[in-house]
Structure 1
Amino acid sequence: MLELSKSSSVMSELKLNQAYVQQIAEVIAAVIEFEVVIIDSNTEVIAGTGKYQSEIGFVYGKESISGQMIKNGSNSILDDDPSKHDICKNCDQKIHCRIKAAILSPIILHDKVIGNISIFAFDVAEKKQLLANQRKYEDFLTKLAALTSSKIDVNEMNSRLAIMANQFSAVINSIIEGIIAINHGGYITHINKSAEKLLSITTRQMNGRHINDIFPEFSVPKVLKFGQQYVEQEIKYFTKDTKDEQCHFISTITPIKKDLEIVGLVISFRSIGEMRKLAGRLIREERKYSLDGILGTSKAMTALKQKMQLVAATDSTILITGESGTGKELFARAIHEESHRKNGPFVAINCGAIPENLLESELFGYEEGAFTGASRGGKPGKFELANGGTIFLDEIGDMPMHLQVKLLRVLQEVKFERIGGVKPVWVDVRIIAATNRNLEEMIEEKLFRSDLFYRLSVIPFYIPPLRERKEDLILLLHHFLDKYNLILGKQITGFTQEVQRKMLAYPWLGNVRELENAVEYAVNIATKNVIDSSFLSSRVNDYFKHNPGLTTGEAPPTLAELEKSAIEAALKKFGNTRQAKEKAAESLGMSRSTFYRKIKNLGLSTKAL
């Protein structure tokens, strides 16, 4: 045999099951009274008895008896002087070898030799006994080798199953939906973390209980009988003790089949409230960046949106003016979404929010080494990032004079140079600028360039403040109420007449943004299903303490009156055909069925419009 070395770093199948393999070696030694060694495919001693027990962990050379046997993969019998045997011809230790005879049996797993079991004789008497019972010992070792590989195979399978079970559990517990598995009798066998959270109950409390303890209206026999998947079924959750209704869920029920037999069900469910919130967010996002999605049915807003729709398809530069909070960026995004550039980027930059010394690099980018701290490889500016789309320059009135000159050149030549650069960068962008300042007054005060003003205001739009379009206020009130009902999980139905009068009389210097904040505040602290004056912010209430006569005017229009007026205006605009009514419904953010129902409920005659 070759000299011994340290163990291999690769963990073999036998080494992973070393305790069991050692038991096998000891059983063999006890039965046939020969020293036993079990070696793996790395020729490492994994188990042994007698002298070999002290060698566990050492590795024999590849040309040793065991190494050769692992190569050929068949039973080997050493029954001659090692110095004369073929299997020992390349072994450096054959002259000093004490082995007189040996039987080696391979351990085979999935058609691969993973090691061998060997018994050895070290004197003439042992050799005589070993060879006399050669067939019996060989057969015994072959069967124990097969038993060893079978046990290892089972262990490996169990290990793989455990890993798969852990992976499955991790996946199930990462799903946002609640998951409950039940057997054929309707008894719960598994729930995930989301189900625990949604039902406020632990796995220990759930396992083994019948599904009807949790969902009394759930018909197990019916679902099992038909064996079809049920999608978007409504189920109600009741506690076992009080039977009080806790929550409504939307569920999907999927049968578990073994062959053709249904052996159980998987119920996945989500809170209807959460789904409504999600739907509300999706609807708002879909409507948010379109001109029709911007709420407002006043004459001023209707005319503004119509004009914007006409110019959206062009590439002309637009200047939007209006007070803070009127939604200038919202209109800019809507124009972009209505244009042929809608698949390109929309890049917004607030010229007043970035320090003057950084604004130029933000707008036009810089080359590597342009200044201390410049990023390696340089950096593109907002104009480059907006190529093929729209750049929105908010608070353009705050742009420094020296940058106004460079911006004017970009408008004229549609190219610029990065800071520290020498090559021109050509861009294809549409510019929409916005400001809450009076640029014409700034021109007189030499704070804004007149030539840049005329370049920017090719198509000027003025967004009226909320106090100039009070017709839209009640509509916006209810829109924000619906929004924060969804977000905060409230069920507030409306506002008192006093609150509506106050809202109409309040000046709203912060415009739509301030109005939204006021509604969000009220919904947050409201403890009733109607918002009264006690839920308004102190700023709003304090205003009327100092101006008590402002709320004595006539009552504001009701929501029904506003809806009727908005629907009439939409029908006049789009017409009375089926397609026209669908467009009218879309412009008001309503589904077709809701639009038709409101026409009927409000007693509108579409023929007369």
Structure 2
Amino acid sequence: MTLLKKCQREIQSIFAMLSHHYGLTCAIYDTNIDLVAYTDSYEKIWGTKVYKPPIERVFHLKQVVNTSPGEKDICGGCSCYHNCPATFEISQCVCCNGVPIGVLLFVSFSKSRRANTPKNIQETITLIEDCAASIGTIAAGKNSLEYPDAAQEIMKTTLEIAPYPLLAVNSNGSVLAENTAFGFFRDSHIFQEQAFLETLPKDSLYHLLSGKKLNNYIVSLQEDTQIQIETFPIFNAGGQLIATIIKPEYTKQTKSTFSEETSTLNQDIGFSIDDIIGTSPEIKQLKKQVVRIANSPSTVFIHGETGTGKGLIAKALHYESNRKEMPFISVNCSSIPESLFESELFGYEEGAFTGARKQGKPGKFELADGGTIFLDEVSEIPLNIQAKLLTVIQDRVVERIGGVTPRSIDIRIIAASNKDLLQMIQEKTFREDLYYRLNVLPVYLPALRERKQDIELLSEYFLARYNKILNKNVLRIDNEIMKLFQSYDWPGNIRQLQNIIEYCVNVTNRSILTSEDLPIDFVENKREPIPEALLHLNGHAEQKIILEMLNHYGWGVEQKKIIAKKLNMSLRTLYRKIQKYQIEPTFKENNSSEQ
């Protein structure tokens, strides 16, 4: 019996609620493509059989929004091809502990039925995602493993002995234990923000959990990436499969690519400054600066809004330097619980605290020895840890929790934040001395609205990328979309552009992306375009306007935020221009508001 079938009663109750409150037609299929639960309206029109390929496709794409059911090539073998009774479909992969266990369907068969769904596609997508998450939680409860604590601790300790990545899962794919080496493997760019098993193709996952002993089993992922897997199945006395130990590693043929916040450990990725996309004057100048300071041991601070590519610049600094063969360790400070900051950054010795590993654990700074450590969102580091970080930066020594001997380290430190640290210093939430030790070599990343010349190039890059990932063949982007992109101010910067292109490629059924493919929230919430006059200001005119607005609104931080918003620029950019033009208050008393 599949895991979803164990949850049939609970799922049927959820469907009854959705049908009553939203008028939705719902169904869910398990990994065998067997219909597990459904609303009455679904059974009356479709029956209990289904054409399998479109369902199987969802296991790979995770989510499919189809506004023209029955018209796609994948429906070619269906008896309803070109004559499908459905008028609208959203399919969502349901996962339990990161492992796909089924596909959830929301279907509309008529205009009147469709009128009872939420107001727009995005609301419906949110509803189906929440529903899928709830079913996954129910399934996890049904699948809770009664595993003796002692035996589980023995397994964890055994896995830690090995120097290579190991992951133990039960017969359903739920994680039992993993070792530290697997943690580093999982944190690499391929699996960033995703469960390891969730990234694997369905057929590969089936082989891994089949109980067969696999050697040198090759799994192909996105972006020309391959991993080689060896499995060690474990059976009970009755011959029943109870667990599988998985040993993954990258193949030599792997060509790695990057997402914005990559963590890598001793992997020859071959990244270079040429992989930074853009030909605008701002990006050309940025690339020159990166090459110029790459070999310097001095600390670099990357200033930029969310989504501007701070992680990419950090990697470019590392891989253009003489440290490129050594580790590059990326630490997202916003994702570390406050109680774990010290142990994560500086490590701990054996017996340092209850639950500490017997052999102790090196911190991120030790792991980066000889290479580079990138502290992203450094503004999130607690004040008590900032003092210890300052010592590490100044003396290049680190002392583990519970340790008595400082360890010398040779590292290049790169930090970044999307918050205004100068304001945080005024608010006493960030140390001023630490800021100046971090900001030795400042690098300023322009917002996407400040380098609009690159929007078309970036859009084409993302289009090609998601064509490959999603196995689509969208030829180009319509000029109407490009005009919309050029007039938008992109508060989410490159990451927002990337997400929009990915959405468009997912939902389109045409060879050219048009405005009809754009997310509804983007079309409805598109901000007013930047005034044409501001796009062509010379330095003197820009200086005059900024000075006049400062004298009008005031020189305080809050007033500058208002000015930056009205000028469609970031607060950081405004500060940079004030410094560039050496703008000072015309009246001395105006300066008091910023003290």
**Higher relative contact order, chain-length normalized (CA < 8 Å, sep 6+):** 2
TM-score, normalisation: structure 1 = 0.44
TM-score in terms of structure 2 length: 0.45
* Greater C-alpha Rg: 1
